[in-house]
Amino acid sequence: MATLTVPSSVPSVADDCDQLRKAFQGWGTNEALIISILAHRDAAQRRAIRRAYADTYGEELLRSITDEISGDFERAVILWTLDPAERDAVLANEVARKWHPGSRVLVEIACTRGPAQLFAVRQAYHERFKRSLEEDVAAHATGDFRKLLVPLISAYRYEGPEVNTRLAHSEAKILHEKIQHKAYGDDEIIRILTTRSKTQLIATFNRYNDEYGHPINKDLKADPKDEFLATLRAIIRCFCCPDRYFEKVIRLAIAGMGTDENSLTRIITTRAEVDLKLVKEAYQKRNSVPLERAVAGDTSGDYERMLLALLGQEQ
């Protein structure tokens, strides 16, 4: 499901560090060499490179990258080079500090990562920012958003396959009643969405569809401009069909007059080692255009080449 391509024969960590150092030195930066190495190493390999680079040259690899490249290319390389948990912590911090109702990044992180991964994100947040993700979200989000997002990013959900069908039936009924009364921020809705396992929630949403004749998200479109309703729909889509959720984020990022580079970079760097192949298939099915072609049409230069490498395009 990942699009990351790692060579069958990978050079030693020392060789990779040496080549990266050479890419940064001299009259000009060798961006192609940076891409050829970092865009084709998995998380464990990139972690080893960062450690060895700092030990060998007395400088953090990320600092060398920042000193030599800039713009969207720099952001893509930096985010990709970070450990997945540290990357999510950085993304979460950015949106928590500049939080606005239209942001879905915290939902993505909370609902498409496993419980151990989300716990690792919170640990990385502690280490990097010397405070908790929960307190930053609570400090900046307001109203029903705060009530929903704090327990959402604090959750440690059960990850097993077991489903309680009676519970699915009863909680589908609770959700329907609250939605019919437009009590979207009700404690019961928030309790169900922020505590139940993924498999239990999917069973509940399926029961909702069976009982009431349409998907729950259809009932959450009463006001298309309501950002809280949009957040609830995003939570459900992230649990039920993350590939289609991410496809839509990418599609909106590259549609229209301008490109939303931050969203495009975020999805590609966070999913390349996970399920970006499924996202590519969803994009092709929805738009009848390969994602690589769409990205190439909306980006340029080293930034384009970095994204295409992560998408698995052969050089």
- Quote the CA–CA distance of 41 and 168 in Å, as a whole number: 42
CB atoms within 10 A of CB 286: 12
One-letter amino acid for residue 237 of the chain: R
Using alpha carbons, select from 240, 251, 235 the residue that is nearest to residue 200.
240
* Mean pLDDT, residues 124-146: 98
* Mean pLDDT, residues 226-230: 97
Q: Are residues 140 and 185 in the same domain?
A: no
Q: Which helix (H) or strand (E) holds 263?
A: helix 261-271
One-letter amino acid for residue 158 of the chain: Y
Residue 49 CA: distances (Å) to CA of 30, 138, 268, 275 = 18, 36, 21, 24
Domain contains 137: yes
pLDDT computed for residue 200 by the predictor: 98
Per the listing, tokens 């994204």 go with 307
- Quote the CA–CA distance of 224 and 210 in Å, as a whole number: 24
Q: Are residues 185 and 208 in the same domain?
A: yes
* Mean pLDDT, residues 189-202: 98
In contact, 175 and 216? CB cutoff 8 Å: yes
Using alpha carbons, select from 205, 199, 200 the residue that is nearest to residue 219.
205
Task: Give 222's pLDDT tier (boundaries 50, 70, 90).
Answer: confident
Domain contains 106: yes
- Using CA atoms of 208, 210, 216, 219 in order, give the dihedral in degrees to the nearest 10: -110
* Mean pLDDT, residues 2-28: 95
Q: Tell me the pLDDT tens digit for each residue of 83-97.
A: 999 999 999 999 999
* Mean pLDDT, residues 5-34: 95
| Average pLDDT score, the chain | 97
The tokens for 129 are 């920012």
Residue 236 clears pLDDT 90, i.e. is over it: yes
**Number of folded domains that form the chain:** 4
Q: Are residues 211 and 149 in the same domain?
A: no
Q: Are residues 294 and 260 in the same domain?
A: yes
Residue 232 clears pLDDT 80, i.e. is over it: yes
Q: Kindly report the CA angle at 161 between 159 and 165, in degrees rounded to 5?
A: 115
Annotated binding site for Ca(2+): 24, 26, 28, 68, 254, 258, 296, 298-299, 304
Q: Are residues 204 and 181 in the same domain?
A: yes
Q: Tell me the pLDDT tens digit for each residue of 253-303.
A: 998 778 999 999 999 999 999 999 999 999 999 999 999 999 999 999 999
Residue 314 clears pLDDT 80, i.e. is over it: no
Q: Tell me the pLDDT tens digit for each residue of 21-80.
A: 999 997 889 999 999 999 999 999 999 999 999 999 999 999 999 999 999 999 999 999
Domain contains 181: yes
What is the domain extent for residue 191? 165-225+232-239
Q: Are residues 289 and 248 in the same domain?
A: yes
In contact, 157 and 198? CB cutoff 8 Å: yes
From 178, 209, 239, the end of a domain falls on 239
Using alpha carbons, select from 284, 288, 263, 267 the residue that is nearest to residue 276.
267
pLDDT computed for residue 315 by the predictor: 60
Domain contains 76: no
Domain contains 133: yes
Task: Give 138's pLDDT tier (boundaries 50, 70, 90).
Answer: very high
- Quote the CA–CA distance of 92 and 105 in Å, as a whole number: 7
Annotated binding site: 24, 26, 28, 68, 254, 258, 296, 298-299, 304
Alpha-carbon radius of gyration of the chain: 21
Residue 213 CA: distances (Å) to CA of 32, 110, 203 = 53, 29, 15
Q: Are residues 148 and 171 in the same domain?
A: no
Domain contains 78: no
Helix 115-129 × helix 143-154 angle, to 10°: 110
* Residue 143, phi-psi category: left (phi > 0), alpha (psi -120 to 50), beta (remainder): left
pLDDT computed for residue 136 by the predictor: 98
Here the CATH number for the domain that contains residue 216 is 1.10.220.10
pLDDT computed for residue 256 by the predictor: 75
Q: Are residues 262 and 288 in the same domain?
A: yes
Domain contains 61: yes
pTM exceeds 0.85, yes or no: yes
Residues in CB range of 149: below 8 A, 6 or more apart: 106, 107, 110, 137, 141
- Quote the CA–CA distance of 143 and 141 in Å, as a whole number: 7
From 103, 131, 154, the end of a domain falls on 154
User: Got the DSSP string for 199-214?
Assistant: HHHHHHHHHHHHHHSS
In contact, 57 and 22? CB cutoff 8 Å: no
- Quote the CA–CA distance of 205 and 92 in Å, as a whole number: 27
Domain contains 1: no
